[in-house]
Amino acid sequence: MRTRKNLTNSDFISIGRRFGSSEIQLEAQNAAAKWSRDIETLSEYGFTPSKLEQFNLLRSNHSTLIEKRPESIIAKMVTTREKNKIINSAWKWLEKVQSVLGDFAENDAEFAIRLRKITPSDDPELLAAIPVFSEILNEKKSYFEPEVKVEVRLSEVANIMENLSTVYGKQATLKEKTRIDTEEIDLYDGMLYTTMRNLYSAGRAAIRAGILSNTSDYKFTMRSNSNPQKPDPSLVL
């Protein structure tokens, strides 16, 4: 039998990333059935009923995490739709303001340069650009006719800025939550795999000793996959 070494949560996460969670779930189900069947023999190798109970608790927690995982994906999709809606509204506001300020830019080269410098080229830049455009619009508001609805545009700024800030905050929070959720599943994957590896090693030892007979029973059926991401050592169970 192989010599065991001390494993940290980072080690378990690293191991867990080599395998699909659904494969681990199925393999653990089969392993629990073999363990229960051969419990008397396996107990002599340290795999007692209490250890089986602990393993089944791990399986239960693992299954719960897998069931909850799609909720994070759906939540992220919903937030992405919200983000797109809010971003589009911000661009529409900016386009209206740029349009009404266009006459000043055509007649004042310095003003045109000023507008070009503050015009955003990407979504995140809206957070900085909209307040500046709002200030400029406020400076020029006395020049516009009522139909331009400058006061309406100015009144919309606070809500637009609040929505932009909220959306970017939600995206960051959900991204981090998804990362942590995934690492927690990887942690359970690794813990289950390691227990099964040790169980199978004990089972094969019992087969070599002539106590158990089914040589195909204590072998993994899974294949590993590659994942280059490194585990977060700070994650604890």
Q: Is residue 237 part of a domain?
A: no
Asked if residue 127 is part of any domain, the answer here is yes
Residue at token pair 């340290």: 46
| 230 lies in some domain | no
Residue 228, in any domain of the structure: no
Indicate whether 129 belongs to any domain: yes
Residue 217 domain flag: no
Q: What is the pLDDT along the chain (237 residues), one digit of tens a residue?
A: 566 678 899 999 999 988 888 889 999 999 999 999 999 999 999 999 999 999 999 999 999 988 877 655 545 544 667 888 899 999 999 999 999 999 899 889 999 999 999 999 988 889 889 999 999 999 999 999 999 999 999 999 999 998 888 776 655 555 556 566 688 888 999 999 999 999 999 999 999 999 988 766 888 877 655 443 433 333 333
Per the CB < 8 A criterion, the answer to whether 161 and 90 are in contact is no
Number of structural domains (the chain) is 1
Domain encompassing residue 175: 9-208
Q: What is the pLDDT of residue 180?
A: 61
Residue 234 lies in a domain: no
- The model carries a pTM of 0.54
Which residues, 6+ apart, have CB-to-CB distance to 178 below 8 Å? Answer: 72, 73, 76
Q: Domain with 85 in it: what CATH number?
A: 1.20.1260
Query: Is 231 part of any domain?
Result: no
Helix (H, G, I), strand (E, B) or coil at 220: coil
